[in-house]
A and B are shown apart, each in its own frame.
Chain A
Amino acid sequence: MQQKEKQVLVIGSINMDLVVRTEKLPTIGETIFGKTFARFPGGKGANQAIAAARLGAQVSMVGCVGEDDFGRELFFGLRENHVDVSFVGKSAEATGIALITVADRGSNTIVVVPGANNEVAITDVDKAFAKYNEPGVLLVQQEIPSTVVRYAIETAKKNNWLVILNPAPAREVSDEVLRCVDILIPNETEASVMTGRTVGSIEDARLAAEVLLAKGIGAVIVTLGSQGAFYCRKGFATHIAPIKVDAIDSTAAGDAFVGALACALARGEAIAEGLQFAAKVAALSVTRPGAQASLPWRRELEV
């Protein structure tokens, strides 16, 4: 039975990460010299869109950038990675940025200025859904206004789309919204915030997943970093063992996982195979440095 490949629609953030490496973090009022400076395209929405597109999914992105150099760079970056950018708007607000200072010992400070990401509007969501007659896979995160996230999820549900919510960064989500979510993919921190209980171990993840599932979500996948993930739906729960690799940089591993799962489900695969694929993609991404740079292409997985 050959199924038609579904559209993946990502509604989320597009940022430029500005990374400074220093010996130590500056204290209040202090001026220090940094060692290096670099900028990397980022934003969870863009990362996940690119992750899915590189794996061969038909991906369309709804987001917003500023009419500035960063905005243009990010816009073309998405396009180069085969993401359809017809619904990426341009705003008078500056492109979203993350100012990241990483000290030698690995401690960091991050300041995010959402800028144009806050300009993503309900009308943009409507325009995107209007383009598709067939239901697809919706992928949303929480780096854009919560009203837009909510509207996107409810609209998708109404039109029989498969709804995946990666609730990052963590914030409270109303139960009415969660009821429309088919697959919720929080990490430990997000699961903690959403359930009010600490999530560190696999057992914690099981309990948190059960609490979340009780809210009416179809399935919950708590990602646990090097401990793998915990998958749970009504009547079934299992730990997904991690794939052992030499980890170099875990940045965007979560985005790789979420993007890959969306891609597999859009291809018509079942969750079982989707999880296997996503775990493989995430494992591969941590073996190399960078965020978007570490996201694998489909050909790299075909051996």
Chain B
Amino acid sequence: MAVTIKNVAKAANVSIATASLILNQKEGAIRFSEATIQRVKEKALELGYVPNMSARKLRQNENDGAALTLAVLWPIDTRVGLIGRLLNGIHQYTTEFDTVKINLLVRTMGDDGVREVKELYAANLFNGAILANTTVDDEAYIHQFPPSVPIVLFNRFSPIYPFVSVDNFGAAKKVAEHFVKNGHSSVVVLASAISSQALEDRLAGFMDGLQGLDHVVVRCECTEASGYVVVAKMLAAGQRPTGLISVWDQTAMGALSALNDFGVKVPAECEVSGFDNQVYSSFTIPKLSTVNVPVEKMAFQAMKFLVQESMDPLNTEKNMMFGLDIIHRGTTKY
């Protein structure tokens, strides 16, 4: 059974009010002796008392009016690096939309994805959520069991939920066509081993654009290390790809590092292209060519949809597509 403030008060031999003032760090606690404060805190630790945050939140809301609590659900994997750009876009929206006080909550997800986020169904923690980097399994789950709070999908498509997305397929196809145009003889495509609609669309776009060109697809983890290992192994075995395209900047960066280590000149002997325009991609040697995904703008719009949905379910404008720009830097010939 959960340890309550009553248990702590009894153990420390003080009144419930005293224990509450001390444990909640209220101003009134100043009137108690150091010894009493120490005793209450020690007993709380000993018994394993955990303050009830949602009760605190309720009390706060009584004072400053109901705030809208919105969540970002984000799986913990290598893509976590993108969350900075996402938060930036969300912040821009909450600064602009000052009509309702918005509290932002970031909920990380493990291997079970959205299944573990019971609050989507209990509706007791947040008023709505942005679902980012969902797996195919996550998507099947939420379409089978609609959450009780409004949701907006980030970089995904849905026939029923609002979403912000980009034409991953189209941009990837254009990247591949660049490689075809430059007359490559053998191209390595680094695809993802994780379940992602967006990354699969990019792969499909590459395939569509590369038609007829000799290529090999390697699925690997979306990390710098696995990009490095995959390419280093190929080079060590004497293979010499002339082009390397990745669904993801991180693997492209690992690959670039391997090419450098094996003395392959980029872009003269091998062209490399990533995807996403992560911040570090413009600081590699040579600078990585990539596709810019306007994460900040998408996050701004996702937040806008979420606020609209939370405040009015009859709202009709449900989704928005953003353009992708191919950025040629130092790793491609153009």
Residues of A within 8 A of B (CB): 1, 3, 182, 202, 218-219, 231, 233-241, 268, 270-273, 275-276, 279
Contacts and interface: CB of A to CB of B under 8 A. Distances in A.
Interface in B255-312: 304, 307-308, 310-312
B66 A237 contact: yes
Q: Would you list the 6 A-B pairs with minimal beta carbon distance, nearest first?
A: A239-B65, A270-B308, A276-B99, A271-B312, A270-B315, A272-B311
Interface of B: 65-68, 97-101, 127, 304, 307-308, 310-315, 317, 320
Contact of B312 (A1, A240, A272, A279): A272
Contacts of A3: 317
A272 B66 contact: no
B21 to A, nearest CB: 25
A238 B312 contact: no
A273 B305 CA distance: 11
B308 A241 contact: no
Given A272-B97, A272-B100, A238 B66 contact: yes
A239 B99 contact: no
B99 A271 contact: no
A233 B125 CA distance: 19
Nearest to A231: B311
Nearest to A183: B312
A70 to B, nearest CB: 38
Given A1-B320, A3-B317, A239-B66, A272 B98 contact: no
Given A238-B100, A240-B100, A276-B98, A270 B317 contact: yes
Contacts of B98: 241, 276
Residue in B65, B97, B127 with the greatest tally of chain A CB atoms within 10 Å: B65
Nearest to B315: A270
A239 B65 CA distance: 6
Q: Which of B311, B314, B320 has the most CB of A within 10 A?
A: B311
Contacts of B315: 270-271
Contacts of B304: 272
A241 B311 contact: no
A217 to B, nearest CB: 12
A273 B66 CA distance: 18
A118 B255 CA distance: 80
Given A275-B99, A276-B98, 4 more contacts: A237-B66, A271-B312, A272-B99, A276-B97
Contacts of B310: 236, 272
B312 A233 contact: yes
Contacts of A270: 308, 311-312, 315, 317
Contacts of A237: 66
A241 B65 CA distance: 9
A268 to B, nearest CB: 7
A233 B101 contact: no
Contacts of A268: 317
Contact of B99 (A218, A219, A236, A279): A279
Contacts of B320: 1
